[in-house]
Amino acid sequence: MNIHLKALGCRLNEAELENWAREFNAAGHRIVNTAIDADVTVLNTCAVTTEAVKKSRKLINRSRRANPAAKLVVSGCFVSTGESGDATELGVDLLVDNREKGKLVESVLTHWQSPTMPEGATTPAEYSLFERNRQRAFIKIQDGCRYRCSYCIVTIARGAETSRSVQEIIDEVKALHQSGVQEVVLTGVHVGGYGSDINSNLMLLVQAILADTDIPRVRFASVEPWDLGDGFFRLFENPRLLPHMHLPLQSGTDSVLRRMSRRCHTADFEQLVLQAKAAVPNFNVTTDIIVGFPGESELEWQQSLDFIDRMSFGHIHIFSYSARTGTKAANMPEQVDEAVKRSRSAELHELARRHQLANLRRSVGQTHAVLWEKVSRPPGKPAEISGYTPNYLRVCAPVSAGLEVNRISSCRLTDIDDARSIALGSATSLND
């Protein structure tokens, strides 16, 4: 069968798609890039915000219209939170709850197994991450979360924490590296909670990956700041563990963090960032901020802005608060007016961009090992190749001899492009 896979939302959803792609390939089926070519379309949905619910519903409708003859399978938080309702009303052939995601491929094949052996079953399964020319793979190391932030529906949808074994993860990293992947990202619902159910932890997992695999680059997805124990940043003494972490703050004032049921204070967060930057040169910290959480006063907003300004994040994902049925925050008093949210969001976007550009300017003159990922031809300009530094700065350089997609080479950052918020560079020498 031809299988088309599509995800909305978090990197965990992307990691799950990659797992399914490998399982479908191993069973002799083919991953295709477009829904029109598919016998089965599998959608991994999101429901973290009201807008995500709308996008999930639109994606389902669009996929059905694109190929009415294909079987349509829908999984993800849109299903597990009950947003999907009755499958037949949506034109969905199979709904798969988050708790059954590990058996999704088995379920699909049970329902619609091809009556003859697929041609691809007789050849090695050389999955290439959905044939999207991706050099970075997301590895799901765990699922579920033991905490209940007052705004979050995803932990309710995902259920209790379950961790994959260290050996299973190492085997996946080795297989990915053998297939040509140069960088893996460790992802999950609660990455820092890895191992809580199997007598392990995130530090032990990373140490094992670095010791037992040769993958050139290992990166973290989002990690809750309170999960980083003593000595955590010593892990980065190994240059294969890349000096960038996405540490979700959510608010820069403690009173709002308490209402969010977050397990972190701003003073602790600041110390953590200082530790990271002291331990590792050019360490880049990025974050999430929720604007307009219930009860957020003008004073709290200004305090939050001041703290965020002091942190000088390399990048900020900015979300306007969206009430989700089933969460504590949805019933909180003093819901913030939408116009106020828009105003505060615009103010924060301006601050975030200022710090992002300042961070890029500080990188000019530095030399980094860049994993080149894509060649493009901007209108009216010469071809350029782009990729990311270890600390997750996007770099573009002129295409020249020795520069190839999926190669790592040394690049000197010479300038920045303000309009595109990227660094510009020139290759020096290959180091792979």
pLDDT tens string for the chain (432 positions)? 889 999 887 778 888 998 899 888 888 888 988 888 888 999 999 888 888 888 888 899 888 888 887 889 999 988 888 766 655 567 788 899 888 888 999 999 887 754 433 332 222 322 222 233 368 888 999 998 888 899 888 777 777 889 999 999 999 999 999 989 999 999 988 999 999 999 999 999 999 999 999 999 999 988 999 999 888 999 999 999 999 999 999 999 999 999 999 999 999 999 999 999 999 989 999 999 999 999 999 999 999 999 999 999 999 989 889 888 888 999 999 999 999 999 999 999 999 999 999 999 999 999 999 999 988 887 777 889 999 999 999 999 998 766 889 999 999 999 999 989 999 998 775 444
Cβ pair 387, 370 in contact under 8 A: yes
- What is d(CA 315, CA 78) in angstroms, rounded to the nearest whole number? 28
Considering the segment(s) 135-242 as one domain, its CATH architecture is 2-Layer Sandwich (3.30)
Closest CA to 198 of 232, 227, 166: 166
pLDDT value for 223: 92
d(CA 422, CA 393): 7
Q: Contact 15/187 with Cβ under 8 angstroms?
A: yes
Backbone phi and psi for residue 384, each to the nearest 5 degrees, phi listed first: -135, 155
Strand partners, 394: 388
Q: Rounded CA gap, 265 and 271, in Å?
A: 10
* Predicted local distance difference test score (pLDDT) of residue 110: 82
pLDDT for 115 equals 40
CA distance 38 to 41: 6
Q: Max alpha carbon distance in the chain (Å)?
A: 67
Q: What is the CATH number of domain 2-122?
A: 3.40.50.12160
pLDDT score of 88: 56
Full-model pTM: 0.77
CA distance 88 to 83: 14
pLDDT for the residue numbered 158: 79
What pLDDT is stored for residue 211 in this prediction?
98
CA distance 284 to 53: 31
Nearest partner of 195 among 207, 187, 203, judged by Cα = 203
Which amino acid is residue 59, in one-letter code?
L
**How far is the C-alpha of 369 from the C-alpha of 282, rounded, in Å?**
13
Question: Under CATH, which number does the domain 367-430 receive?
Answer: 2.40.50
Please tell me the number of Cα atoms within 13 Å of 21 on its side-chain side: 27
Tell me the torsion sign for CA atoms 138, 144, 145, 149. Answer: positive
Q: In angstroms, rounded to a whole number, what is the distance separating the alpha carbons of residues 355 and 361?
A: 10
The residues, any chain, with a CB within 8 Å of residue 17's CB and separated by 6 or more, are: 5, 6, 7, 42, 44, 130
Q: Domain coordinates of the chain in residue numbers? A: 2-122, 135-242, 367-430
Give the Cα separation of 168 and 221 in Å (integer): 19
Q: How many helices (H) and strands (E) does the chain have?
A: 12, 18
Residue 157: name the closest of 196, 189, 191, 195 by CA. 189
Residue 30, helix vs strand vs coil: strand
- 3-class secondary structure, 65: helix
- Confirm if 226 and 145 have CB atoms less than 8 A apart: no
